Amino acid sequence: MIKVAQVSKSYQRKLVLDHVSLEVSKGQIFGLLGPNGAGKTTLIRILNQMASPDAGSVTFDGQLLGERHLPLIGYLPEERGLYKNMAVRAHLLFLAQLRGLSKTTAAQNVDHWLAHFDIQDWQNKRIATLSKGMAQKVQFIAALVHQPQLLILDEPLSGFDPLNVELIMNEIKALKTHGTTIILSTHNMKSVDEICDHAALLHQGQILAQDTVQHLRRTHAKGRVFVRFRGHMLAFANALWTDFTLLEQKETEPGLFDCVLQIRGERSVNDLMRSLQDQVTVEHIELLLPSMQEVFVDLINQKENQDV
């Protein structure tokens, strides 16, 4: 759906994006990750046509991205604001119409979303009287009130309490099931683990890695294995020999142990299972994948070590 090809952008001779290429497929939730100053906001502004690339191109459904695509894009910026003197409904109507909806359709959509979030009672309240969380819900609705095909969310969870984080996460998942493509820029790695299909890591204006979340986690797996077994701990430890290191152990009930092991050398999970076969009864065994947080830190460290 969105293809960014070799996009570069400089501000005052500082290269902010350096030949960035990425592709977001229809119906995907795409995590755009990176430390502060990596160039995420610049890339998002290019997608929203607030800035134009110095080099490279962006296409939307195969067409060069242009003003005609603006009504198809929804955007929730990280730094977000609303007109404090406007009433909630009037404000949403205004923004929906700016996105190209007719007054009637805008009114229908606004009413639908107010009802969906169960906040019809707020519709005549001035924005200034809303709490921060309430205002953020209104901003979230403003981003999707025109039913965009592509929704760009920049830190959508910041400022929400845990209950509302859950609500917004579920909403994002629901949008995906309805076919909306979502680009999610966030520092909340738990949400990336939970809802993103694909992710790209941007660092100092360059893409360090991009793939499916599962593949990124697998390729950065550290050979750690979780084992749950019944038997004696001594027998288990002896079976590990020098090929596996016991990192953690916990007896959850008499004779039942949860352990974390580190595979050493060229050994595999199959080797481990063979070693344990006659020593203990294995109830559960699983290769532990790193969280996206760990993948993120790993990739950044690798890059910085290369630079040094």
Contact 162, 170 (CB under 8 A): no
Residue 90 sits at the vertex; the CA angle it makes with 87 and 92, to the nearest 5 degrees, is 105
- Min dist CB 98 to another protein, Å, is 4
Nearer to another protein, 94 or 226 (CB): 94
Of 47, 48, 44, the residue nearest 58 (C-alpha) = 47
Contact 171, 264 (CB under 8 A): no
- Give the N- to C-terminal CA distance of the chain in Å, as an integer: 37
- Min dist CB 143 to another protein, Å, is 8
Q: Which of residues 187-246 bind another protein (CB under 8 A)?
A: none
Q: Which of residues 62-81 bind another protein (CB under 8 A)?
A: 70, 73, 75, 77, 79-81
Q: Which of residues 75-134 bind another protein (CB under 8 A)?
A: 75, 77, 79-86, 94-95, 97-100, 103
Nearer to another protein, 100 or 255 (CB): 100
Nearer to another protein, 72 or 282 (CB): 72
**What backbone phi and psi angles, to 5 degrees, belong to 82?**
-140, 165
- Min dist CB 296 to another protein, Å, is 25
What residues pair up with 241 in beta bridges, in sequence order? Answer: none
Stretch that binds another protein, among 13-21, 41-49, 226-234, 258-266 (CB under 8 A): 41-49
Beta-carbon neighbour count of residue 222 at 10 Å? Answer: 12
Of 237, 250, 239, the residue nearest 273 (C-alpha) = 239
Nearer to another protein, 58 or 82 (CB): 82
Contact 185, 24 (CB under 8 A): no
- Min dist CB 76 to another protein, Å, is 8
Stretch that binds another protein, among 32-40, 45-53, 163-171, 173-181 (CB under 8 A): 45-53
Left if phi > 0, otherwise alpha if psi is -120 to 50, otherwise beta: which for 283?
Answer: alpha
- The reply to whether 45 sits near another protein by the rule CB under 8 A is yes
Nearer to another protein, 73 or 240 (CB): 73
Q: What is the crossing angle of helices 88-98 and 132-144, to 10°?
A: 30
Please give the size of the binding site for another protein, defined by CB under 8 A.
26
Q: Which of residues 135-154 bind another protein (CB under 8 A)?
A: 139, 142
The first and second tokens of residue 255, run together, are 């004779």
Nearer to another protein, 124 or 268 (CB): 124
CA torsion 288-292-293-296 (nearest 10°) is 120
Q: What's the CA gap between 286 and 246, in Å, rounded?
A: 15
Among 25, 26, 37, 50, binds another protein (CB under 8 A): 50
The first and second tokens of residue 199, run together, are 């992710």
Q: Which of residues 259-298 bind another protein (CB under 8 A)?
A: none
Binding site for another protein (CB under 8 A): 45, 48-51, 70, 73, 75, 77, 79-86, 94-95, 97-100, 103, 139, 142
